[in-house]
Amino acid sequence: MSTNRRNLVLRGLLLMAALVPAAPARDYASPTAPAAAEAPAAPVTVIVHASVLDGTGSPARRTNVRISGDLIVDVGGAGPAAGETVVDADGLTLAPGFIDTHSHGSDQIFEIPDATAATSQGITTIVVGQDGGSSYPLRRFFNRLERRPAAVNVASYAGHGTLRDRVMGDDFRRPATQDEIEEMQRLLGKEMAAGAVGLSSGLEYDPGIYSAPEEVVELAKTAASFGGRYISHIRSEDRYFWKAIDEIIEIGRQAKLPVQISHTKLAMRSWWGQADKLLARLDKARASGVDITADMYPYLYWESTLTVLFPGRDFENRAEASLVLKEIAAPEGLLLTEFGPEPSYAGKTVAEIARLRRSDPVTTLIDLIRMSEAMRKETGESVESVIGTSMQEPDVERLMTWREMNFCTDGYLEGPHPRGFGSYPRILGHYVRERGVLKLPQAVHQASALAAAHMGFTDRGQIRPGLHADLVLFDPRIVRDRATPTHPHAVSDGIRSVWVNGVVVYRDGKSTGERPGRVLRRAS
């Protein structure tokens, strides 16, 4: 996959936040410095003149924010003193760093530790181990990440599919036995002890799709016993959507833990216009005591595999293939981003490929899956990926306004879908500034403090003294995404500076090369 990464020259740099030392830095060797026995004070930065959104949803306040070392130490206090570094943020908005509750960043974090995809959109924490797949064992992944830190903080779920694979191997096309469930529970216990946020599942994917609902409930109970949570790519995002919603509500009820729907969408024509019905069902579940929440990314198209479109895995079934193209994504809206058996098909839609092959779209879809499945069986690896346009704008906008909806990317650090680079600036630019779907303080809340609450993080996600200094400084007048399906790695406009644990990791279109990110283990 080509990186397509483009170096961006940001426009409008006149308002750029400048790093200006207020006075010569204090010399700790001088006679006025603290006694040698004391540790030298951490460097202090004061961000002045910013319009500060603290993440709670409260209106902006023009005030000073002081950070020392890795912490926010003061909000609204005195101006800079001698020796303190000053950031003049006049005209800009300062917000808590965004928390991406559904990231696929772990796949590339050691190759791309600057994580520019994330930092360039103001993300300071990524939560990985999603859709049922996690690094295994987490203890080793976390240790490795602590030896070779990234620019962003990383937390992880433990994946149900990963545990299922450890225990059942290739014999996964069936419900697990009681013994196998107990073995998965034992492994999950270890992952939870290593600091997993909770259990994730991908019930529309192999091997999770073959699990019985009780298997997932039993594992969720184990996560609950550690104070963990459950997050899920639910069992169906199209044909059996409502049943899948009932299933996740039931998991929350029976296992008594917070549950979150991943990348919420109404991805089938027959369900378009039913966002209100969905949110009413979720509100009703909440009112009955189930702590159900959700995340979403701001696009009308998803990225996944062709095979996920066939829940019965009956890839030769013409009736199913026509239903896919009629109800889930039209041939013009199904764009291959990777196709191992015929790499020249990448970048083309099923409609275009059908014309090339002098065939019809249904036959073409079946042919494509037959080719990629043959290659997958040979290589043991997934060899295709696809972007499918399945959602409509009014539903996305309605879902975005739900009080328990936090934002995510569902993106890779260098993936084919523009969400990996563009999600948060797209919310702030397109949905807040241009469409007026949310007010800026509320959108920032859903990107930061609400996301932190949904992940159980208590020391990040707000601008408040004592919390970690994860911050994003942006220009609300120009912030916007620039990544597209043809240029998915274009960095956004308007993100000026991003701090992770008090260190600037991104400034004016470029990563700084600093890697202050930490492993965020679940607080026990």
- Give the interface segment with Zn ion, choosing from 14-22, 127-135, 212-220, 326-334 (CB under 5 A): 127-135
User: How do strand 71-75 and strand 98-100 relate by DSSP bridges?
Assistant: unpaired
- Give the interface segment with Zn ion, choosing from 129-137, 209-217, 471-479, 481-489 (CB under 5 A): 129-137
Distances (CA, A) of 71 to 58, 125, 474: 21, 15, 20
Residue 262 CB, shortest distance to Zn ion, in Å, is: 5
Residue 366 CB, shortest distance to Zn ion, in Å, is: 24
Residue 410 CB, shortest distance to Zn ion, in Å, is: 6
Residue 298 CB, shortest distance to Zn ion, in Å, is: 16
Six token digits for residue 397: 């906008």
Question: What's the distance, Cα to Cα, between the start and end of the chain in Å?
Answer: 40
What is the rounded CA–CA span in Å between residue 256 and residue 461?
Answer: 25
Residue 455 CB, shortest distance to Zn ion, in Å, is: 17
Residue 263 CB, shortest distance to Zn ion, in Å, is: 5
* Residues 295-334 as x/- pattern, contact with Zn ion by CB under 5 A: ----------------------------------------
Query: Which CB atom, from 93 or from 423, has the smaller least distance to Zn ion?
Result: 423
By beta carbon distance, the residue nearest Zn ion is: 233
Residue 129 CB, shortest distance to Zn ion, in Å, is: 12
- Give the interface segment with Zn ion, choosing from 45-53, 87-95, 110-118, 130-138 (CB under 5 A): 130-138
What is the rounded CA–CA span in Å between residue 52 and residue 50?
Answer: 6
- Give the interface segment with Zn ion, choosing from 50-58, 131-139, 368-376, 382-390 (CB under 5 A): 131-139
Q: For residues 348 and 361, is the Cβ–Cβ distance under 8 A?
A: no
- Give the interface segment with Zn ion, choosing from 30-38, 126-134, 138-146, 247-255 (CB under 5 A): 126-134
Query: Which CB atom, from 49 or from 263, has the smaller least distance to Zn ion?
Result: 263
- Give the interface segment with Zn ion, choosing from 208-216, 233-241, 385-393, 495-503 (CB under 5 A): 233-241
**Which residue from 229, 257, 227, 261 is spatially nearest to 245, judged by alpha carbons?**
261
Residue 111, C-beta contacts closer than 8 angstroms, at least 6 positions apart: none
Q: How would DSSP label each residue in 14-42?
A: GGPPEEEESSSPP-TTSTTSPPTTSPPPP
Say if residue 137 is preceded by a cis peptide, omega within 30 of 0.
yes
Query: Which CB atom, from 233 or from 522, has the smaller least distance to Zn ion?
Result: 233
Which amino acid, one-letter code, is at 158?
A: A
What is the rounded CA–CA span in Å between residue 72 and residue 345?
Answer: 50
- Total residues interacting with Zn ion, rule: CB under 5 A: 2
Query: Which CB atom, from 131 or from 180, has the smaller least distance to Zn ion?
Result: 131
Residue 358, C-beta contacts closer than 8 angstroms, at least 6 positions apart: none
Looking only at residues 379 through 408 of this chain, which bind Zn ion when binding is defined by CB under 5 A? Answer: none
Residue 161 CB, shortest distance to Zn ion, in Å, is: 11
Query: Which CB atom, from 411 or from 429, has the smaller least distance to Zn ion?
Result: 411
Residue 96 CB, shortest distance to Zn ion, in Å, is: 25
Q: For residues 290 and 331, is the Cβ–Cβ distance under 8 A?
A: no
- Give the interface segment with Zn ion, choosing from 227-235, 271-279, 479-487, 509-517 (CB under 5 A): 227-235
Six token digits for residue 125: 């924490």
How many H helices and E strands in the chain?
14, 22
Residue 202 CB, shortest distance to Zn ion, in Å, is: 6
Query: Which CB atom, from 26 or from 102, has the smaller least distance to Zn ion?
Result: 102
How many other CB atoms are found less than 10 A from the CB of residue 313?
15
Local structure of residue 268 (DSSP, 8 states): S
Query: Which CB atom, from 202 or from 488, has the smaller least distance to Zn ion?
Result: 202
Interface residue with Zn ion, options 233, 417, 419, 454 (CB under 5 A):
233
Q: Is 274 exposed, middle or buried (0-12, 13-18, 19+ CB in 10 A)?
A: middle
Which amino acid, one-letter code, is at 345?
A: Y
Local structure of residue 201 (DSSP, 8 states): E
- Give the interface segment with Zn ion, choosing from 147-155, 228-236, 319-327, 457-465 (CB under 5 A): 228-236
Residue 360 CB, shortest distance to Zn ion, in Å, is: 30
Interface residue with Zn ion, options 54, 131, 320, 514 (CB under 5 A):
131
Query: Which CB atom, from 50 or from 197, has the smaller least distance to Zn ion?
Result: 197
* Residues 443-462 as x/- pattern, contact with Zn ion by CB under 5 A: --------------------
Residue 101 CB, shortest distance to Zn ion, in Å, is: 12
Q: For residues 467 and 460, is the Cβ–Cβ distance under 8 A?
A: yes
Query: Which CB atom, from 15 or from 300, has the smaller least distance to Zn ion?
Result: 300
Q: For residues 167 and 210, is the Cβ–Cβ distance under 8 A?
A: no
Q: Is 206 in the site for Zn ion (CB under 5 A)?
A: no
Provide the b/e sequence for 220-249 (b: ≥16 CB within 10 Å): bbbbbebebbbbbbbbbbbbbbeebbbbbb
- Give the interface segment with Zn ion, choosing from 3-11, 128-136, 174-182, 353-361 (CB under 5 A): 128-136
Six token digits for residue 401: 């306004």
Residue 158 CB, shortest distance to Zn ion, in Å, is: 16
Helix (H) or strand (E) holding 64: strand 61-68
Query: Which CB atom, from 409 or from 497, has the smaller least distance to Zn ion?
Result: 409
Residue 253's SS3 state is helix
Six token digits for residue 213: 């609902």
- Residues contributing to the site for Zn ion (CB under 5 A): 131, 233
